[in-house]
Amino acid sequence: MKGYEQKDAKPFEALELIVERSSEVKEYNEKNLTQYDKSRLELISSFIDGFESPYGLELLATVDFLIQEEKSLELDSIKKGLSNWSQRKLELFKEQHIPLAIEHLKKYSKQLYPHIVA
């Protein structure tokens, strides 16, 4: 990760993957991670799939937070929570992306929201 290897990355500073070094990462994972760690890494990888950009991760995190705050997976509840949160987030997220994030998070609802009926 560019920006992390020097350990001087600032909060909210985007980190970049260095694709050329992916074989080193794979080798490290194979040699050093337990099977449990590997399965968790696979789960996380699948969880953020399609939402890897800073925008996508912020969208996913924001919608996840609102689902937990509103105790609902319904689009109207999430939109209401978003409009009450901040003008910045309201302007940042495209309306068509919010339902995509909700649907993605629903795939993980048993792990993330066992107390919320989908």
> pLDDT digit string (tens) for 55-86?
999 999 999 999 999 999 999 999 999 999 98
- The pTM (predicted TM-score) of the whole model is 0.77
| 63, 78 Cβ separation under 8 angstroms | yes
CA 57 vs CA 11, 20, 23, 26, 46: distances in Å: 14, 23, 24, 23, 13
Token duo for residue 20: 């050329």
Residue spans of the domains in the chain: they are: 54-112
pLDDT tens by residue, 87-100? 999 899 999 999 99
DSSP string over 4-31: TTTT-PPTTPPPB--GGGHHHHHHHHHH
Virtual torsion, Cα 100, 81, 90, 85, nearest 10 deg:
-140
**Using CA atoms, how far apart are residues 80 and 24, in angstroms rounded to an integer?**
45
